[in-house]
Amino acid sequence: MKRMFGIILGNVMITGTYAFITVPKEIINGGITSFSMILERLFHIDLTVFVNLITILLLLFCLFFLGKEFFMGSIFSCGCYLLLFTLFHSMGISLPLPLPVCVIVAGLAVGTGYYLCINAKSTAISFDIIALILNKKYPKVNIAFTMGLINIFVLLTGFAVFGLLSVLYGIVFTAIQAFTLNFLQKYGKKVLRNHCHSTF
């Protein structure tokens, strides 16, 4: 139950952030949703179609390269992601916050969401799967740093569609997200453990 709760909470943070902040504000961060936003503009097909197709493709990568435990957690995560993003996106809500604040909040929330999923031996069914596969093969590969590089590559492909300002905000978003994930991977368990000891 603890593992499932971590996966659900991680997906609520990620999909809620995408649906209520990054998509309506057109902030791209290089993840699946951002890549789907680029494809939506290019092909005029609904965003959720691309999100769902890419998600399923990455889930297959997870099956072949990350093993049964990650795959089973990711199946559950995938269901949460597809259901929650479709639900939240259909609400048509945009948080009324200044754009710079949105970038900071989104970076912190998505980085934390990724951490919760990875910590629960799952994936967020995003390009984190590629980073996890590389880390499994080459343990010295930093997951957060690799995700950051992939995200920046996706951001650059979106330059012609969303323009320089969106890409710059996306790079800041990606940097905050990667820093948050890296920090929590290093210190998250220790902080939670100390909090539990101080509570009880």
Whether the pTM exceeds 0.75: the reply is yes
Domain residues of the chain, as ranges?
A: 2-199
Q: What is the spatial distance between Cα 58 and Cα 102, in angstroms, rounded to a whole number?
A: 27
Residue 45 has pLDDT above 50, yes or no: yes
Tens digit of pLDDT for each residue in 69-93? 888 888 888 888 889 988 999 999 9
168-189 per-position pLDDT tens digit:
888 899 899 999 999 999 887 6
Q: Compute the distance between CA of residue 7 and CA of residue 11 in angstroms, rounded to an integer.
A: 6
- Note whether 16 and 88 are within 8 A (CB): yes
Nearest Cα residue to 7 out of 81, 109, 63, 94: 81
